[in-house]
Amino acid sequence: MPLCLNASDPAAVEAAAQRLAAGSLVGMPTETVYGLAADAGNASAVQRIFEAKGRPSDHPLIVHIPPAEQGDWRAAAAPFAREVPVFAAALMQAFWPGPLTLILPRRPEVAAVAAGGQDSVGLRCPSHPVAQALLLAARAHGVHGVAAPSANRFGRVSPTTAAHVAEEFAELPDEALLILDGGACPVGIESTIVDCSRGAPVLLRPGVITPAQIEAVCGQPLRARDEAAPRASGTLESHYAPRAKVRLMAAAQLKAALDVLGPDAKHIAVYARSPLKTARGVALRRMPDDAAQAAQALFAVLRELDATGVNLIWVETPPEGADWDGVRDRLQRASA
């Protein structure tokens, strides 16, 4: 079993920093989801992330950095990025620390294995106090960037609690993984990713920071994705998949389907915003009306419904509107 320590104990954060410095893995709470962290400058430590996740080695990881001194984000990014376009610096200023990842041209010094062989690097400064404390403590031990994908097995639902991480990597011994328990992640879905390496901003993954917010800060429109856009595992068609099959349905379709169910349909669970009556035995969870609250709860609910042993999870299609983009995107991928 992985070792799980309460992150409110400063000794736990220090122990985690020492593990990172020694090339070992740490489950790191962030405001978005928990990350599976390793020293980005240590190729064999980064290799351990890929092995533990079962992630293909050509899928790049995000490098996490502590907050900039005096708010100088350009200087903070300089050890990793060859250049920071003006619009990318504006995004850092506006949204860092926070749930935004920027793809920038990679310095050759950054371990290529962390970047999945791309000549770019994903950078993010998380706002979660435990993540920041860990990144700063790790720096004191000579760790200057922390590579961390979401702490789930490849293709599965991202973790938003320490217990989820422990569940994903249950067979790792305590010396191989220390999980810092920082409570439930407040944002709940992964960071918005903007590619800043190709002249104009390109949205690679929707999150709680919306396209309109990004365009306002950049002072230019987002450019559409093209074929040459770098690969992003969180953008694979099928991802975030629970064991049960997820099916997205409009409210009316969902209601009609429930109406014709037999009296006892224990193999189905429902996650819906609309008030619905379900047959006896059907687990029903209510999706919050607020997009931010829905994002916060999403992965935990999918895991919880999955754990009831159902074969099917019927989910009401989220509403239109940019504030639901992140939730809609994750649900579409979970159902693909």
Would you list which residues are annotated within the binding site for L-threonine? Answer: 32, 64, 124, 148, 191
Q: Which does 24 bind (CB under 5 to 8 A by kind): ligand TXA, Mg ion, none?
A: none
What CA–CA distance (Å, rounded) separates 190 from 235?
Answer: 11
Residue from 47, 213, 235, 332 touching ligand TXA (CB under 6 A): that is 235
Helix crossing, 325-335 with 291-307: angle to 10°? Answer: 20
**Interface map 75-114 toward ligand TXA (x if CB under 6 A):** ------------------------x-x-x-----------
| Sites of contact with Mg ion (CB under 5 A) | 150, 234
191: contact with ligand TXA by CB under 6 A: yes
Q: How far is the CB of 101 from Mg ion (least distance, A)?
A: 11
Q: Which does 235 bind (CB under 5 to 8 A by kind): Mg ion, ligand TXA, none?
A: ligand TXA
Residues between 281 and 310 with contacts to ligand TXA, criterion CB under 6 A = none
Determine the residue type at 175. E
Cα separation values, 220 from 87, 211, 216, 247, Å: 8, 11, 7, 36
32: contact with ligand TXA by CB under 6 A: yes
> Which residue stretch of 8-16, 88-96, 142-150, 324-332 sits at the interface with ligand TXA (rule: CB under 6 A)?
142-150
Q: Which does 209 bind (CB under 5 to 8 A by kind): ligand TXA, Mg ion, none?
A: none
Strand ordering across the sheet containing 35-39? 3-6, 177-181, 25-28, 35-39, 146-147, 62-64, 120-124, 100-105, 192-195, 202-205
What CA–CA distance (Å, rounded) separates 242 from 157?
Answer: 6
What CA–CA distance (Å, rounded) separates 236 from 228?
Answer: 15
> Which residue stretch of 88-96, 120-128, 265-273, 307-315 sits at the interface with ligand TXA (rule: CB under 6 A)?
120-128
Of 188 and 234, the one with the shorter C-beta distance to Mg ion is 234
Q: Measured in whole angstroms, how far is the alpha carbon of residue 56 from the centre of its chain?
A: 17
199 backbone φψ class: left, alpha, beta (φ>0; ψ -120 to 50): left
* Residue the block writes with tokens 């351990």: 48
CA angle 329–333–336, rounded 5-degree value: 140
CB 244 within 8 A of CB 312: yes
CB 104 within 8 A of CB 118: no
Q: How far is the CB of 75 from Mg ion (least distance, A)?
A: 29
115: contact with ligand TXA by CB under 6 A: yes
Q: How far is the CB of 72 from ligand TXA (least distance, A)?
A: 22
> Which residue stretch of 65-73, 187-195, 240-248, 280-288 sits at the interface with ligand TXA (rule: CB under 6 A)?
187-195
Q: Which does 298 bind (CB under 5 to 8 A by kind): Mg ion, ligand TXA, none?
A: none
Of 234 and 318, the one with the shorter C-beta distance to ligand TXA is 234
- In three-state secondary structure terms, 336 is coil
What residues line the site for ligand TXA (CB under 6 A)? 30, 32-33, 35, 59-62, 99, 101, 103, 115, 118, 120-122, 124, 148-150, 190-191, 193, 204, 230-235
